[in-house]
Amino acid sequence: MRLTIYGRSTVIKALVITLALDLAALLVPNEIAKLVLLVISIIFISFTLYFFRDPVRQIPENLKSGDVLSPADGKVMMIEEVQESEFIKGPAKVIGIFLSPLNVHVNRVPISGTVKFYQYIKGEFIAAYDHASADKNERTVIGIEGERFKVLFKQITGFVARRIVCELRVGDKVKIGEKFGMIKFGSRTDVIMPINANIKVSVNQKVTGGITLLAEVPE
């Protein structure tokens, strides 16, 4: 199983904790306590390694210039029309994706283009499935200008997620499906696109980052 580079520090810390639990189990004379510590150790390190997995993804071939891919694994929790004032600056459509702690949390670029907007915003840690989290929680906001249109997307922390990793900065050239960061331990990703985008997913549908087609923007 391949692990993401974005989780190396956390995995190292988890290994140290696991070794400490194993050592404690060796020193504890009580057999029941010894067994409990070993079980906790196995569950803890197994979950950590599973969470930071980075499966190989084959980006779809023959993508069109108007295609928007999902930046994250998870479940579509909302599809709405909004007024976007930061980057698209006008009416737009937004798709909100909820990531549970069991989903792959590596994030991928939804369209090819140039990063024209980047903002990190400190905020609260409301549960990611609450719609209020999109505007109140800690988040990064990234805007990419493609050949024909712009897309804005947000990495949003949740009640458990408290750590955003984003490698993108203004001026970066990016390709659709490329990895750019992650949100650790449950979160939400919003993708905002032009109002004329034809949405290809539905609420409660499961999506896969870098593979699932979220929308097509016509010429």
User: What's the structural domain count of the chain?
Assistant: 2
pLDDT at residue 213 greater than cutoff 80:
yes
Closest CA to 95 of 203, 174, 182: 203
52-79 pLDDT tens trace: 999 999 999 889 989 999 999 999 999 9
Q: Which domain holds residue 73?
A: 67-216
Please, are residues 164 and 157 in contact by the beta-carbon 8 Å criterion? yes
85: annotated active-site residue: no
Residue 62 lies in a domain: no
**What predicted TM-score, i.e. pTM, was given to this entire model?**
0.87
Order of strands, sheet of 163-166, starting from the edge strand that comes earlier in the sequence? 106-108, 179-184, 163-166
Same domain, 79 and 9: no
Same domain, 178 and 205: yes
Same domain, 28 and 107: no
CATH number at residue 172: 2.70.70
Residue 60 lies in a domain: no
- Predicted pLDDT at 163: 76
Same domain, 72 and 47: no
- Predicted pLDDT at 129: 55
Catalytic residue, from 70, 112, 133, 187: name it: 187
Residue 56 lies in a domain: no
Same domain, 44 and 104: no
Same domain, 12 and 38: yes
Same domain, 40 and 102: no
pLDDT at residue 185 greater than cutoff 90:
no
Closest CA to 110 of 51, 150, 70: 70
Residue 14 lies in a domain: yes
What is the β-pairing status of strands 139-145 and 150-157?
A: antiparallel
Same domain, 79 and 165: yes
- Predicted pLDDT at 54: 92
pLDDT at residue 146 greater than cutoff 60:
yes
> How far is residue 114 from each of residues 24, 43, 101, 110, 178, measured CA to CA in Å?
51, 42, 30, 12, 13
Residue 141 lies in a domain: yes
Same domain, 43 and 99: no
User: Cα separation of 71 and 210, whole Å?
Assistant: 6
Same domain, 112 and 29: no
Same domain, 22 and 94: no
Closest CA to 54 of 161, 148, 181, 153: 181
Same domain, 195 and 150: yes
Residue 116 lies in a domain: yes
